[in-house]
Amino acid sequence: MQKKYKFPESYFTFPSHVSLEHLKEVEKQTADVMTPAYIIDEAVLEENLNILKKVKDATGCKILLALKAFSLRASFPLIAKYLDGACASGVFEARLGREDFNKEVHTFSPAFSDKDIKDVIKYSDSVIFNSFAQLHTFGPLVKKAGKQVGLRINPMLSKSPKLLYSPCVAKSRLGVTAEQFKGEDVSLVDGFHFHALCEQDADSLAEVLKKFESDFGKYLPNLKWLNMGGGHHIVRKGYKINLLIKLINNIKSKYGLQVLLEPGEGVVLNAGYLATTVLDIVQNKGNVAIIDASAETHTPDVLGMPYQPCIIDAAKGPLKKYLYRIGGPSCLAGDVMGDYSFDKPLERGQKLLFTDMALYTFVKNTTFNGIPLPNIGILDKKGNYKVVKTFSYKDFVSKL
């Protein structure tokens, strides 16, 4: 099977502000860490936060951390210094946002249950509904509690690299379409929300915003805010930040709206690593390395998206001299990170650092096969590493 490698020699999936010198430092600073471990790089995280702050300063918009992408409590104090709050996907994340992030909490779910709605309202500053039925059933309770009511709109134009991530296909359950608005009462609604991007630059936002405005612009003068969701890759190198600023300022001044963004990836892009160790090397019509981290259990997006993550000092595919297929210790035959090549042969006990492993990793991992979960550690700006979360047999057995 021939495979195309987009940036075979890069150490990042997306263009990054992080320098090679910094990565070399990180390699040294993490050489002795116990593996497997997710390592959060505070220097990169803070650089990202400073980029987001520029957008806030230039527009007065609010930026929320999407907890579903990254919810390491130990990092919340740093993030909360820059951002306005958190966006939650339901009752547990709303509570996490309230109790640990401790700033604004904005909660959206495709459907809230009778059982959860009271707590959702208690922990949230705004509750965003996905249908008119949910709005009419629960909206009055939100108002009575003095909180904000939002409605998720489906602009039916999505910019997403994969269909799996597009909310704007026929039979999508995400958001109210223009057709569904006929004859509906929107007097309870304080703000609209749309989320139609995934890993996108600002020109994709411009396209979606144009379609959104042509279909829903007539409602905007009566609203207080517009939440433009996530999927903004603002901290990616080369992102058109001035265009984003222009788009926000335009819509804000045209309709007198507060604008909110709720990026997940766009907060922690490239701000983490997965440190692993080579456990064994076997041969089967080629070299195969088995590491102590698993794609299936520890980086599920590698198989789900799917994509091939980068490893420092390795090239994707056969560009360098020594080629290996690298996979994990689970039973799944396809528990494979990908094919990588190196300047020197791999050795048992050797450390490998996967990049861009802060987002959608530890929030999604599982203990399938009883595989222990990696530690989570923080590498601070001085290069000191501290483990903030470990997992034991007790954690594994407690959920079974």
Ligand X SMILES: *Cc1c(COP(=O)(O)O)cnc(C)c1O
Contact 58, 243 (CB under 8 A): no
Count CB-CB contacts under 10 A for residue 81.
10
Contact 153, 193 (CB under 8 A): yes
* Candidate list 37, 44, 55, 69; residue touching ligand X; CB under 6 A: 69
* Candidate list 265, 296, 335, 356; residue touching ligand X; CB under 6 A: 265
Query: Interface with ligand X includes 175 (CB under 6 A)?
Result: no
* Candidate list 150, 191, 231, 272; residue touching ligand X; CB under 6 A: 231
* Candidate list 26, 65, 87, 315; residue touching ligand X; CB under 6 A: 87
Number of residues in contact with ligand X under rule CB under 6 A: 15
- Residue 376 zone, left/alpha/beta (φ > 0; ψ -120 to 50; rest): beta
DSSP collapsed to 3 states, 204-231: HHHHHHHHHHHHHHHHHHHCCEEECCCC
Q: H helices then E strands: how many in the chain?
A: 12, 17
Query: Interface with ligand X includes 104 (CB under 6 A)?
Result: no
- Which CB sits closer to ligand X, 131 or 369? 131
Contact 31, 351 (CB under 8 A): yes
* Candidate list 66, 72, 291, 357; residue touching ligand X; CB under 6 A: 66
- Residue 183 zone, left/alpha/beta (φ > 0; ψ -120 to 50; rest): left
Q: For residue 353, give the 3-state DSSP assignment.
A: strand
Query: Interface with ligand X includes 108 (CB under 6 A)?
Result: yes
Alpha helices, H only, 233-391: 241-255, 265-268, 295-298, 300-304
Query: Interface with ligand X includes 229 (CB under 6 A)?
Result: yes
CB of 20 to ligand X, least distance (A): 26
Query: Interface with ligand X includes 120 (CB under 6 A)?
Result: no
Query: Interface with ligand X includes 230 (CB under 6 A)?
Result: yes
Query: Interface with ligand X includes 139 (CB under 6 A)?
Result: no
Query: Interface with ligand X includes 198 (CB under 6 A)?
Result: yes
CB of 359 to ligand X, least distance (A): 7
CB of 29 to ligand X, least distance (A): 27
Site string for ligand X, 291-330 (x = CB under 6 A): ----------------------------------------
Query: Interface with ligand X includes 372 (CB under 6 A)?
Result: no
- What is the C-alpha to C-alpha distance for residues 363 and 366, in angstroms, rounded to an integer? 9
- Which CB sits closer to ligand X, 108 or 239? 108
Query: Interface with ligand X includes 149 (CB under 6 A)?
Result: no
- What is the C-alpha to C-alpha distance for residues 325 and 327, in angstroms, rounded to an integer? 7
Q: Which residues pair with 389 in a beta bridge?
A: 376
Q: Which residues pair with 193 in a beta bridge?
A: 152, 227
CB of 352 to ligand X, least distance (A): 25
Among the residue ranges 18-26, 142-150, 256-264, 280-288, the one whose residues contact ligand X (CB under 6 A): 256-264
Query: Interface with ligand X includes 262 (CB under 6 A)?
Result: yes
- The pairing of strands 148-152 and 191-193 is parallel
Contact 265, 199 (CB under 8 A): yes
Cβ-Cβ contacts under 8 Å for 96 (sequence gap 6 or more) = 67, 71, 73, 86, 88
CA dihedral 226, 232, 238, 242 (to 10 degrees): 0
* Candidate list 139, 263, 300, 309; residue touching ligand X; CB under 6 A: 263
- Which CB sits closer to ligand X, 69 or 371? 69
- Which CB sits closer to ligand X, 108 or 129? 108
CB of 338 to ligand X, least distance (A): 22
Binding footprint of ligand X on the chain (CB under 6 A): 66, 68-69, 87, 108, 195, 198, 229-231, 262-266
